[in-house]
Structure 1
C-alpha cells in the first residue's frame, strides 16, 4: 500500500488573501476554517480525501529565508498557456526569477506573498 498526497500546507501571512488567490487559480472552494486561522480549500465536489489534494493556508509570522524547497506546478485546463498567464497576472501573480534561462517551456511566477509556482505549457483535461 502506498501513500498519496491529501493536502499541501502553505504557511503565509494572510490566509484570507492566499485562499482567495489559490481558489481562483485552481477553481477550488473553501472547505473549512480552524481556530488557528488556517483555511482549507479544495475541489468543490470532492473536498478532503478526493483525487486532488487540498491546500491549507496556515497563518505564520515567520519570514521566509529564501527560495522554497517545494513549489506548486499548475497547467491550464480550458485555455492555452498565454491566456492562462494573463489570467494569473490579473489575479495578482507576478513573474519570479529563480535563475531560469528564458528558454524554458514554463513560466515561473509568484503568488501575492511571493511563493513561487510554475505555469507549465501542456494543457490538461479537467477532472
Structure 2
C-alpha cells in the first residue's frame, strides 16, 4: 500500500480571500472553518476523494525563505490563453522566477504572492 496526497497546506494572512480565489480557480467549495480563521477547501465530494483538499492555515507573518512547493494547474475546458485571462481576472498576477519566455507554461502568483504555474496541457475533469 502507498500513500497519496490528501491535502496541501498553505500558510496565508487572509484565508477568506485565498479561499475565494482558489475556489474560483479550481471549482472547489469551502469544506470547513477553524476558530482561528483557517479554512479547508476542496472538491464538492469533500475530503478523501481523488483530489487533495487545500488547507489555508492562517498565519500573521509569511514564511521565511522561498516557498519550496507550488501548485501547477491545467485548464479543463478551454485553451491555455483563455484560462490565463480568466486567472488574471480572478486576481492572479504574472510572476518572474527567472523564466526565459520560451516556456510552455505561465508562472503566476495568487493574491498573497504564492507562485503557481498554468500548464499548457488541458486535462479532463474527474
TM-score higher than 0.5: yes
> Residue 84 of structure 2: SS of its match in structure 1?
helix
CA shift for structure 1 position 35: 1.4
Distance 2:2 2:73 in 1: 24
Does residue 32 of structure 2 align to residue 41 of structure 1?
no
CA shift for structure 1 position 61: 1.2
Corresponding residue pairs, total: 126
Give the unaligned 5+ runs of structure 1: none
| More displaced 10-residue stretch of structure 1: 112-121 or 30-39 | 30-39
User: Residue 18 of structure 2 corresponds to which residue in structure 1?
Assistant: 18
> Residue 118 of structure 1: SS of its match in structure 2?
strand
Distance 1:77 1:37 in 2: 31
> Residue 112 of structure 1: SS of its match in structure 2?
coil
TM-score, reference length from structure 1: 0.96
C-alpha RMSD of the superposition = 0.8
Aligned 1:53-64 pairs, distance under 5 A: 53-64=52-63
Distance 1:67 1:88 in 2: 23
CA shift for structure 1 position 99: 0.7
TM-score, reference length from structure 2: 0.97
